[in-house]
Amino acid sequence: MIPEIRDPDQVAEAVTAEKATAGGIHGALRALFPLAPEAAPRTWIRRWMSAAAQIAAVGLGALVLLLRIPGLPSWDAVYAEDWWEFLVGAYQHPWRLFVPFGGYEQLLQRLVAQFVSYLPVSQAAHAFAGVAALITALCALFIYHASSGHIRSRPLRVLLAVGVILLSSAPMEIADSTVAVSFYLLLAMFWAALWRPRTRAGMVAAAVVAFVTAASTSIVIVFAPLLAIRVLKLRRFREHAKSVLDFADQAGKLPVLLDG
């Protein structure tokens, strides 16, 4: 029995939930992509306060990430390929961003290195570490929003985002370096594949995450089955911007993967 609900989207979600609990495989698969809850109306003051709180959270998250590296601070050293592949490549071949390395492209890493190349060399380590920490914090904020369909509790979503910042293995290798920022993007990509935002801003954010992740690491191919299920189960075209971008990017670099 479905309770009386006025919002058509909520009616559809209630029907989907009933089918899933009834054991239908189609309903269960569609239930993987619940619609994000509708935001309560807010005054412009509350909107500005929310935006300020999120900006502060990203800044704090980036600072925590920078301080997590033991010994030599991350802003005093350039990590691995950030120096000898991406930065040197930016000096030698400016704005050649779609250059494969290790069998696949790393668009985000090369783009960051290109901007860093315009700074004094003495500032390169600071820039790489700061940008990588900022991107990671933005991934955590994105996950907080993108998980709203599955995790309705705000405190639990905050805990999930904090878990991204405090990932236990991060100080060993992946924190504060654009070389390994793709691992954080993969976490964001997982939730982007499941997210069904109600707003245009949410749709754009999910599409950007999908494109940047697909253009920066070949591991994103593991999400292809999930995106295929999404395309099959969600009928509206606007639901699939991220899927289209991801599939298009993967198809475009298939020759690179095969050659690698």
Domain match, 46 and 98 both = yes
Domain match, 2 and 97 both = no
Domain match, 45 and 26 both = no
CB atoms within 10 A of CB 13: 20
Domain span holding position 1 = 1-31
Alpha helices of 82-153 — where are they, by DSSP H?
Answer: 88-92, 107-116, 124-146
**pLDDT tens per residue, the chain (260 residues)?**
444 444 555 555 555 455 544 456 766 777 788 888 877 777 888 889 999 999 999 999 999 999 988 888 888 888 888 998 999 999 999 999 988 887 778 999 999 999 999 999 999 999 999 999 999 999 999 999 999 999 999 999 999 999 999 988 887 778 888 988 999 999 999 999 999 888 888 889 999 999 999 999 888 889 988 888 888 877 665 555 555 555 445 444 444 444 44
Domain match, 91 and 197 both = yes
Hunting for tokens 């940047």 — which residue is that?
212
pLDDT for position 251: 46
Domain match, 19 and 51 both = no
Tokens of 153: 């509790």
Domain match, 22 and 41 both = no
Residue-by-residue DSSP string for 178-237: TTSHHHHHHHHHHHHHH---SSHHHHHHHHHHHHHHHTT-GGGGGGHHHHHHHHHH---G
Domain match, 24 and 51 both = no
Half-sphere exposure of 17 (CA within 13 A, CB side): 13
Residue 212 near residue 181 (C-beta atoms within 8 A): no
Q: Is the pTM of this model over 0.75?
A: yes
Domain count across the chain: 2
pLDDT for position 110: 95
Domain match, 101 and 11 both = no
pLDDT for position 99: 84
Residue-by-residue DSSP string for 152-184: --HHHHHHHHHHHHT-TTGGGTTTT-TTSHHHH
Domain match, 25 and 44 both = no
Domain match, 78 and 88 both = yes
pLDDT for position 241: 54
Domain match, 7 and 114 both = no
**What 3-state DSSP class applies to 64?**
helix
Domain match, 100 and 27 both = no
pLDDT for position 58: 97
